[in-house]
Chain A
Amino acid sequence: MNTTSLDSRTTQQPEDKARQGGVSRYENRLRLATVSPSVLLLLVWMIVPLAMTIYFSTIRYNLLYPGENDFVGLENFYYFITDAGFLAGAANTLILVGSVLLISVVLGVLISVLVDIDFWGRGLVRVMLISPFFIMPTVSALVWKNLLLHPVSGIFAAIWRFFGATPVDWFTHYPMFSIIMIVSWQWLPFAILILMTAMQSLDQEQKDAARLDGAGPLAIFWHITLPHLSRPIAVVVMIETIFLLSVFAEIYTTTSGGPGYETTNLAYLIYNQALLQFDVGMASAGGLIAVVIANIAAFVLIRLIGKNLTDKAS
């Protein structure tokens, strides 16, 4: 993998390369002493639970029926995958991640370009735009559920009535859409925050040069702004994907995965197996599947855009 962002300072001159320093015993000892705590902790954090998950996934292990921990091979995986919830969970995960990514990237780009214009009160507008990102997931879920989307006294119901329409019972009729709205409201500000900051490093001279070359606002957006934002967009997609694959609290506090499996994603499905049905074996099998999916996603993302993330065009 190409990772030149890390050594932008080392590639100037052959002479500077020499400066990066001889390998001395002191330096090696220093490195060992300073880096190893982080590495060891993270290694333990990664390996121990993962190994346990792998082990649990191959045994029959239910907290409600202790003592029957037989090796069952891939049975847990079989049951997890053939469970009615699995396909729904996988599909819902995809829909949730995909929609929120789409919304936050597209609107994020447009809004950050919009607030790059020098208008009155820009600072305040920026603060308002990014604020939802700092709200805890449980708060945003409940505020949306009770204060905004409630079919009787929510704001949306009031607006619908104002226009003479019948208020919608969002969580009953459009549960997934509601979840997507809430999660997007939280993550669009993240995209805005990153892209807005990235916009500020856009070279004004480049835009001026393009304008002198006869480029209109659309051409400038397409040929200068978007390419400039490609790297931050890659960052947004990567990081949001990591977090969106594990959306949990929003579902937990609003729909509990329902109605039926309509808003159950993989994270919630596994939680359901684990801490509601106490089936450790099956939850572990599901957990491993989630890990595999996350890794596939990470791998694909890194292949698609990771180069963009780590390659720094100096």
Chain B
Amino acid sequence: MADLKIRKLRKVFDGLEIIKGVDLDINDHEFVVFVGPSGCGKSTLLRLIAGLEEVTSGTISLDGRDITDVTPAKRDLAMVFQTYALYPHMSVRKNMSFALDLAGIDKSEVEAKVQDAARILELGHLLERKPKALSGGQRQRVAIGRAIVRNPKVFLFDEPLSNLDAALRVQMRLELARLHHDLNATMIYVTHDQVEAMTLADKVVVLNGGRIEQVGSPMALYHNPVNQFVAGFIGTPKMGFLDARVISTDPHSVTIELAAGTRLQLPISGARVSAGNKVTLGIRPEHIEVVKASESAFQVEMDVTEHLGSDTFCYVRTSSGETLTVRAPGDFTGEFGQRVGLALDLNHCHLFDESGLTIPKLNQRAA
């Protein structure tokens, strides 16, 4: 069992509130990812859970036991650091067995656990080496191995892949997903990379300015972000935003006029807005299609196009000077400065009110 409950957690440092009251439940076997821009407090939150920072107020409990004031070592957690934090003077074997040796566990049992972890992580042939003699990916594995041997209730990962090169990062991401499946463990993972969040998480916690913006499955965050911040943070390329004004509303739709002059009728409940309100339209690149200028009233000018092979990203500029990204097929060709029309998938349009909150859609998908 590993049920982590965080209640009203606050952390003040030098008069600066880093964590501004966080409530969060993490269930057994869950892979939870804390994601957010740098400085949002995600690492601090993880370190509060680990016990490396002292809590200012609020509680943390694990399986009903209050661990708010328990020393890190007694919390039954293991952490993988961004820098791996391997002990440079110890061999890989010693690095992995250090915690068990300190706990006074029987030698043969320690050896069995180290061998087990080494087998899972394919480190068997490196056990006698010092960290200096390992590659980045291998060090990463040792750091994970050090956590595995302790068989903790919760694994904590602090941006573990950020020091690896791009190719290795993808590979380690897959291995982590597999590891989570094999160990069936509870994992909390901090990253600023929303791709890691989307691909690894059962549950994503989006943090901003010391507060939780939204908690949910990756797909829930993608389809139903609660506000403009989450909408802009999740998904690559980013969601595009256009200024708009409400023209008219009825219970089943909202008609808006973009700053560029185009009018759109969206399948969004009109209960929360009224004519004249300023709103923001959000639309993801994959929900826009480039059409001939004659086929759409929403006309834009092509800027740069980037060919990735599988996709083409077109950057376009509206007549009101706003920019949008469009995800077009790989064989799309467009010329710089060309006038084209855009077709928006109205079912996937998001509308945000002036405070940035999402105006709910009619057919809200189940999260």
Contacts and interface: CB of A to CB of B under 8 A. Distances in A.
Interface of A: 13-15, 17-24
B43 interface: yes
B54 interface: yes
Contacts of A21: 53-54
B11 A18 contact: yes
Contacts of B54: 21-24
B240 to A, nearest CB: 29
Contacts of A15: 18, 38-44
B236 interface: no
A17 B12 CA distance: 11
Interface of B: 11, 13-14, 16, 18, 38-44, 47, 53-54, 56
Contact of B39 (A14, A20, A22, A24): A14
B58 to A, nearest CB: 13
Q: Looking at chain A's contact residues, is the secondary structure mostly helix, strand, loop, or mixed?
A: loop
A22 B53 contact: yes
Nearest to B44: A18
Q: Which 10 A-B pairs have the closest CB atoms?
A: A22-B54, A14-B39, A18-B18, A18-B13, A18-B44, A24-B54, A15-B39, A15-B43, A22-B53, A13-B38
5 contacts: A15-B39, A15-B40, A17-B14, A18-B43, A21-B54
Contacts of B16: 14, 17-18
Contacts, number: 38
Contacts of A17: 13-14, 16
A19 B11 contact: no
A20 B11 CA distance: 13
Contacts of A14: 16, 18, 39
A255 B47 CA distance: 65
A22 B56 contact: yes
A19 B39 contact: no
A22 B38 contact: no
Nearest to A26: B54
A190 B321 CA distance: 64
B53 A19 contact: yes
A127 B248 CA distance: 86
B36 to A, nearest CB: 10
B11 A22 contact: yes
A26 to B, nearest CB: 9
Nearest to A27: B54
A21 B42 CA distance: 15
Contacts of A20: 13
B361 to A, nearest CB: 34
Nearest to A14: B39
Instruction: Determine which residue in A13, A18, A20, A24 has the highest number of CB atoms from chain B within 10 A of its CB, and name it.
Output: A18
